Structures are given as structure tokens and as C-alpha cells.
Amino acid sequence: MPVNSFDDYPMSWTPDREDLKFPLYYSLADLMERDIKSGKLSANTKLPPQRELADYLDLNLSTITKAYKLCEMRGLIHAVTGKGTFVTPYANVPTSTVEKNTAPGIELAVIHPFYESNEAIRDLTIDILKKPFSEQLFEYSHPLGDRGQILTAARWLQRFGLDADEHNTMIAAGAQNALATILSSLFEAGDRIAVDTYTYPNFISLANLLYLQLVPIENDAWGMCPERLENTCVLQKIKGIYLMPAGGNPTNIAFSNARKKEIARIIKERNLIAVEDDNYAALLEKPYSPLALDAPEHCIYVSGLSKPLCPGLRIAYLYLPDKYVNPMEQGIFSQNLKISSLNMEIAAEIIRSGLAWKII
């Protein structure tokens, strides 16, 4: 213990010096991660200033600085200019949607899609497999989809007004796979991404897995508050933004058209990588106008087919700005080696045959 006494001095975190091992900065970072993930350090807790913690532990300031930086890269803490360092809001949030409790109850963690059309999709699949050369659907060819499948995906995206073609359209193994590829291909550990205060739980788990920091932005009845987003971009280095404007999970808040334009303006001015996740847009009674239309050079639009058409296919269509096409192609290939040709063909045929519109 140093000469200065901390017996009566309030500190939000007081790790035990005896628990530290070499290298000290790495061990200290592990202790902080343990206390955050166990809930001992709760979300938004302000951490001790680095000099105070160095004095308390009788360590060099550089050791504390390296430990804080490592935890920041792990997505556990973040610094706010002029205010200090805080525990990241989602760092210790449990995000599993797998029900571990077998007691009777109402499941509120999972939004189940529709299963009523599975019989029609089964019959369509049987017809596909009876066609000549259908055995080629089980080969390694066309890892990211053949031209016909990609053009059908572009046609689906064009329904939302997007200027989609075979060059800026991509197919992923479901929306969750698309999000994982986006985060791992376009972001690095420690990057900050703005999200709604209450956001998609599986996006939180992906960010935690990749050591990305999610920064919550307040909502009102019309969506994410632009002034809050703008202020956060001033105070923190925000690299990206994740949005579900057609109806957020879990709040179901839908952005107004005016709000989408305001958020798009900030995305362009701040040069953010925007991810627009719209699994439900196809089911809306009124035509949906994507935020991507107002920020086409910055926004990746993700349209999953699980909710509107068939949950078991695990297919999503992506509209990409040109600058993201190459890293995303490499990311999808690296993570999947190939997308299932059979699933891509079934999804394409559901759309080509008109069955998609009957289901919707």
C-alpha cells in the first residue's frame, strides 16, 4: 500500500494488488473484465482516474494506461472527453435468447416468424430438385451465388427503391451472418458503434465477441434522436451506426421519414459506416423508404428473408456501397467458404415464381 491512505477515499473500483501477475497491465485488464462481466462493475460506472488507480496500486501510470487501453479495445470501457472513463453500457448484458429455464412461462426473448407457408415452400423445393442438373446445387460452384440468384436478389432490393444491381448486391447466410460479416470485415476491436438505447440482443453479443463498443443513443416516438447522436459524435470517436428503422427489436419503434433524413445527414457529415437492418420492411402495408436512399454511399442495407418468407432458409440480401463490396466479398467467403446453393436457389425461386408475394 502506498504512503497515501485510501481508507476513507471513495473509489469505484479497488482491485487487490495481490491478484496481479506479470505482465501487470494484462493481469489488471483481466481483473477489470472479470469484475465487469460478473456485474461487480455495472454499466456506466465511472472508473477511477488513471493516476489515482496507479497511486492506489503503487504502480506506474503507464501500466494503468496500458490496462485501460486494452480494456477499451475489448469493448469493455470507453472514455468521454472531459468526463472520464466509463464501463460500456452493454459489456455485461446477458444476450442469449436460448431458454435455459424449463419452468412454465411466456417466452419474450425470441420473435418467432411465420410457419404457415412452409408446406408451399416444401413443394416448391421438390420441384426444384426434379429439374435437370439440380444435383449441381450440391457442389462448391458459385460460392456467393450465381448470376441469376444475384439478379433476383437485386430485384428484391429494388422493391424498396434501391439502385441494386449484380455488382452492389450480395447474398449472405441469413441476416445474423450478414451482421457478423459486416462487423468483422469493416470494423476493428475498440471501434465505437452508435445503437438505439434498447437494441437487437444478438447484435450486442456479436459486438462483445469482436470487442466492439456499442454506444447507446436515446430514442423518442419517431426514432433515434438526431441531437443526441450528433452530441455523441462530438464527444466520442464514433465509426459506425446500427439501425432498425422499419421497426426496432425489441421496442418496435419505427423511424419517421423526416427522422430518417436527419439521421442520414449526420451519417454523411460524420462519414459513418451505417448498417440498416430491415427484416420486416417487406411486411409493411405501406411501401418502405430505406434510410439508405438518403445516404447511399455510407449505408449497407440488410434484408433478411427469415421473417417475411421462410425462417429455415437462412438467406439475406445486402445492398452495398461500392467501397464496401471487396472487403465484404472477402469476409463472406472467409467466414462461410460458400453460401448454400440450394438455399439460394429456393429463395430465388420463391421470388421468381410469385410465391413470395402470396406469402406476404
Mean pLDDT of the 331-338 span: 93
Q: Is the pLDDT of residue 9 over 80?
A: no
Does the CA dihedral 321-323-325-328 come out positive or negative? negative
Stretch 35-62: mean pLDDT: 92
- Does the pLDDT value for residue 319 go beyond 50? yes
Q: Give pLDDT, residue 1.
A: 46
pLDDT category at 96 given cuts 50, 70, 90 is low
Look at residue 7 and tell me whether its pLDDT is greater than 80.
Answer: no
Provide the 8-state DSSP code for 48: P
Residue bearing the bigger pLDDT, 99 or 267: 267
The pLDDT score that the predictor gives to residue 276 is 98
Give me the percent of the chain exceeding a pLDDT of 70. Answer: 92
> pLDDT for 294-307, tens place per residue?
999 999 999 999 99
Q: With a cut of 50, say whether residue 99 has pLDDT above it.
A: no
- Angle at which helices 147-158 and 341-352 pack, to 10 degrees? 50
Average pLDDT over residues 206-219: 91
Top-confidence residue, 116 or 151: 151
- Confidence (pLDDT) at 37: 86
Query: Which cell numbers in the block locate residue 308?
Result: 417475411
Helix (H, G, I), strand (E, B) or coil at 35: helix
The closest alpha carbon to 66, from 34, 23, 36, belongs to 23
Contact 243, 270 (CB under 8 A): no
Q: With cut-offs at 50, 70 and 90, classify the pLDDT of residue 162.
A: very high
pLDDT band of residue 250 (cuts 50, 70, 90) is: confident
Q: What is the pLDDT of residue 95?
A: 55
Beta-bridge partners for 195:
216
How many Å apart are CA 77 and CA 53, to the nearest integer?
15
Exposure of 161 in the CB half-sphere (CA atoms within 13 A)? 11
- CATH no. of 17-87: 1.10.10.10
Mean pLDDT score, 67-85: 86
CB of 149 closer than 8 Å to CB of 296 = no
Q: 223: phi > 0 → left, psi -120 to 50 → alpha, else beta; which? A: left
Q: Is the pLDDT of residue 93 over 80?
A: no
Average pLDDT in the 46-71 region? Answer: 93
Q: Do 118-359 and 17-87 fall under one CATH topology?
A: no
Instruction: Tell me the C-alpha to C-alpha distance, in Å, between residue 60 and each of 10, 15, 50, 198.
Output: 21, 15, 10, 39
C-alpha cell at 303: 434484408
Q: Hey, what amino acid is at 34? A: R
Average pLDDT on 260-270 reads 98
CATH number of 118-359: 3.40.50.1950, 3.40.50.300, 3.40.640.10, 1.10.3210.10?
3.40.640.10
Domain edges within the chain = 17-87, 118-359
